[in-house]
Amino acid sequence: MITKILKLLRGDEGQGLAEYGLILALIAVVSVAALTALGGGITTTLGSVTSSL
């Protein structure tokens, strides 16, 4: 039983999941920053596309 507990503590499967979570959080922050910075331009472009349709 102690061997199984030590094996769980040494496992690095959780580490990979944490890294994916950090990457996902970084992508979300960059996306929000880009949309905030380009918000006016995107609104204008989408308005032009909508009106031309």
Question: What CA–CA distance (Å, rounded) separates 2 from 8?
Answer: 10
Question: What CA–CA distance (Å, rounded) separates 21 from 15?
Answer: 10
* Alpha helix segments (H runs only) across 11-38: 13-37
Instruction: Confirm whether 45 is domain-assigned.
Output: yes
Instruction: Confirm whether 6 is domain-assigned.
Output: no
CB-based contact 35:42 (threshold 8 Å): yes
Domain of 41 in residue numbering reads as 13-52
**pTM score above 0.85:** no
Give me the chain's average pLDDT, please.
82
Residues 6+ apart with CB under 8 A from 35: 42
Instruction: Confirm whether 4 is domain-assigned.
Output: no
Dihedral sign of CA atoms 15, 20, 24, 30 in order: positive
Instruction: Confirm whether 26 is domain-assigned.
Output: yes
The lowest-confidence range among 8-12, 24-28, 31-35 is: 8-12
Instruction: Confirm whether 2 is domain-assigned.
Output: no
Q: Number of structural domains, the chain?
A: 1
Instruction: Confirm whether 20 is domain-assigned.
Output: yes
Instruction: Confirm whether 7 is domain-assigned.
Output: no
